[in-house]
């Protein structure tokens, strides 16, 4: 895949990246967040305008101050959360309090225990819940809610109608493929959500981590093809006699930073769980990390 990794950015700087979008990046780089969490401000860059903030990010004093500086003179009407991992939602309450108790909107908290590398924000409490097709409006902007489970069961994306753009959270990232980690992450859900985004024909995607994706259709097709290829690689590993995830990961992810192998193991598990649902693979004694897997 040809990834999007090069872009002009600096920590704490507010960049006008489109007529209706500004971005401020938090200094929380990691193998899972790339250069850090990109918080988006949606709306006009003028005093008095009503704007939305998407994914305030982690608890970070410098990022909090940078957001307040970027919002100077504007009213935050909505704080929107793509999902409740620790690099996306924790700063929302503090930001709300600093912005006149601006309401925080998200999907319901996950019902399943999260096992992802990012961790779950268990203290998160939204003021209002969102569901597929909901519309959120401000001064000159309209966001449509898209439910996109897969990376997380409560993952949302937000479509900016005026620019035919999608804030894709972690569902689609330009710098890397997305981690799908059971039990909260689900590969079958992820693939369905990917098809849902592909069908919309967006002109540009704004992930929470990394630069915008501008060649949307071919990138999404490559994203989907990668998942299908990985699924076929997992089946090939089973055909070769590798029956455990521990045997598969060093082969499938030989070129990947070994710090990511635990997350990769969960991704392989997600593929195997999907294949089990499809009736192509059998797990013994149950579909879990330590299971032994065979072709059905």
The domain locations on the chain are: 14-214, 230-295
Superfamily of domain 14-214: Ribonuclease Z/Hydroxyacylglutathione hydrolase-like (3.60.15.10)
pLDDT of 114 reads 59
Instruction: Write out the chain's pLDDT in tens, 296 residues.
Output: 889 999 999 999 999 999 999 999 999 999 899 999 999 999 999 999 999 999 999 999 999 999 999 999 899 999 999 999 999 999 999 999 999 999 999 999 887 665 565 688 988 999 999 999 999 999 999 999 999 999 999 999 999 999 999 999 999 999 999 989 898 999 999 999 999 999 999 999 999 999 999 999 999 999 999 999 999 999 999 999 999 999 999 999 998 889 889 888 999 999 999 999 999 999 999 999 999 999 99
- Give which of 125, 267, 126 is closest to 185, Cα–Cα: 267
Q: What confidence score (pLDDT) does residue 35 get?
A: 98
Q: Are 23 and 10 in contact (CB under 8 A)?
A: no
Same fold, 14-214 and 230-295: no
Selected from 2.60.120.10, 3.30.70.360, 1.10.10.10, 3.40.190.10, the CATH number assigned to the domain covering 230-295 reads 1.10.10.10
- The model's pTM: 0.94
Residue 272: CB partners within 8 Å, gap ≥ 6? 234, 245, 281, 283, 287, 291, 293
| Residue 116 confidence (pLDDT) | 61
Please check whether residue 105 is in contact with residue 79, taking contact to mean a CB–CB distance below 8 angstroms: yes
pLDDT value of position 74: 97
Q: How far apart are the first and last CA of the chain?
A: 30
Inter-helix orientation angle 245-252/216-239, to 10°: 130
């Amino acid at each position: 895949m040809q990834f999007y990794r090069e872009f002009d950015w600096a920590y704490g700087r507010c960049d006008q990246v489109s007529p209706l979008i500004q971005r401020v990046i938090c200094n929380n780089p990691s193998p899972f967040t790339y250069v850090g969490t990109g918080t988006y401000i949606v709306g006009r860059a003028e005093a008095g305008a009503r704007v939305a903030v998407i994914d305030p990010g982690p608890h970070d004093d410098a990022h909090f101050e940078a957001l307040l500086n970027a919002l100077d003179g504007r009213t935050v009407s909505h704080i929107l959360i793509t999902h409740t991992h620790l690099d996306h939602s924790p700063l929302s309450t503090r930001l709300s309090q600093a912005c006149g108790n601006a309401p925080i909107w998200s999907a319901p908290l996950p019902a399943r225990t999260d096992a992802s590398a990012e961790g779950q924000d268990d203290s998160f409490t939204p003021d209002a819940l969102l569901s597929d097709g909901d519309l959120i409006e401000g001064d000159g902007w309209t966001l449509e809610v898209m439910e996109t489970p897969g990376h997380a069961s409560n993952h949302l994306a937000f479509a900016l109608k005026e620019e035919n753009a999608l804030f894709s959270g972690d569902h689609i990232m330009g710098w890397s493929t997305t981690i799908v980690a059971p039990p909260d992450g689900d590969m079958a859900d992820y693939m369905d959500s990917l098809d849902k985004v592909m069908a919309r024909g967006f002109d540009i995607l704004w992930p929470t981590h990394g630069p915008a994706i501008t060649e949307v259709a071919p990138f999404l097709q490559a994203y989907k093809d990668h998942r299908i290829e990985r699924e076929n690689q997992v089946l090939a590993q089973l055909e070769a006699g590798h029956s455990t995830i521990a045997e598969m990961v060093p082969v499938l992810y030989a070129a990947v930073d070994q710090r990511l192998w635990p997350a990769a193991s969960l991704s392989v598990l997600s593929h195997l769980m999907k294949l089990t649902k499809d009736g192509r693979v059998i797990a013994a004694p149950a579909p879990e990390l330590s299971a032994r897997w065979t072709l059905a």
